[in-house]
Amino acid sequence: MFLLRRPTPETIRRFIASQSDLPFSYSQIGATRTEPPAGFIVDHNRIRIGSGQESYEQAVAALRSWKQFDLGWVSVVPPGLPVKVGTTVAVQAKTLGVWSLSACRIVYVIEEDDDVKKFGFAYGTLPDHVESGEERFTIEWRTDGSVWYDILAFSRPQHPLARRGRPLVRRWQKQFARDSLAAMLVASRP
């Protein structure tokens, strides 16, 4: 959904309600758990954000609060929704003076306490999203004590404007990854 003004809370509520019961816009649901499917562009970005238990816990709290989207030009709305399977959110962005809302639903949540401790989740795109695909966000506490933030996404254009403006959309996707890594680096400091 594209708008010339910032969407109101009521516009956001109606938008999410219109998408909540719709199927995902791609068939490879959950593929960020294993191998991204052929026919999509794959982006994988990661950054070391600290070390030790306190750093891990702070990073998990930041991820649960959607801090990876507190970027100024991108946010998740409405704020404060729980990170659990089935939660539907909108990614709100302002680019080139135009506001957009893109619908996503959480596909799975990761909570592992093995050699590498992990917390994260993946969301998939719904019919009213500019792209089609899935994105996974994880925090890892490795055996060497290091804590990492990792983003894995596969996507392809869904909206006609995204197909026509593919080079610009790719630039924004790369900018999102850089900004998200930086936001989590800040948000996860003890």
Please give the pLDDT value at position 65.
96
Q: Which residue has the tokens 């404007």?
A: 161
Distance CA 79, CA 170 (A): 26
Q: What pLDDT does 127 receive?
A: 96
Residue spans per domain, the chain: 2-187
Residue 161 pLDDT greater than 80, yes or no? no
Q: What residue ranges in the chain does DSSP mark as E strands?
A: 2-3, 41-51, 74-77, 88-95, 98-113, 117-125, 131-141, 146-157
The residues with which 133 forms a beta bridge, in sequence order, are 155
Question: The CATH number of 2-187 is which of 3.40.50.2000, 3.90.1150.10, 3.30.530.20, 3.80.30.20?
Answer: 3.30.530.20
Residues 32-50 pLDDT 10s: 999 999 999 999 999 999 9
Please compute the mean of the pLDDT values over residues 114-126 and round it to a whole number: 96
The pLDDT of residue 163: 76
- Mean pLDDT value of segment 8-21: 96
Two structure tokens written together for 96: 């080139």
- Greater confidence (160 vs 57) lies with 57
Closest CA to 138 of 113, 115, 109, 114: 109
Say if CB 47 and CB 148 are below 8 A apart: yes
In terms of pTM, does the model score above 0.85? yes
Tell which wins on pLDDT, 33 or 162.
33
pLDDT of the residue at 85 = 98
pLDDT score, position 169: 84
Q: Which residues are registered as beta bridge partners of 122?
A: 108, 136
**Residues 57-72, mean pLDDT to the nearest whole number:** 96
Instruction: Please give the single-letter amino acid code of residue 35.
Output: E
Give tens-digit pLDDT for 122-142. Answer: 999 999 998 999 999 999 999
User: In angstroms, rounded to a whole number, what is the distance separating the alpha carbons of residues 37 and 66?
Assistant: 26
**Nearest residue to 171 via CA among 66, 41, 24:** 41
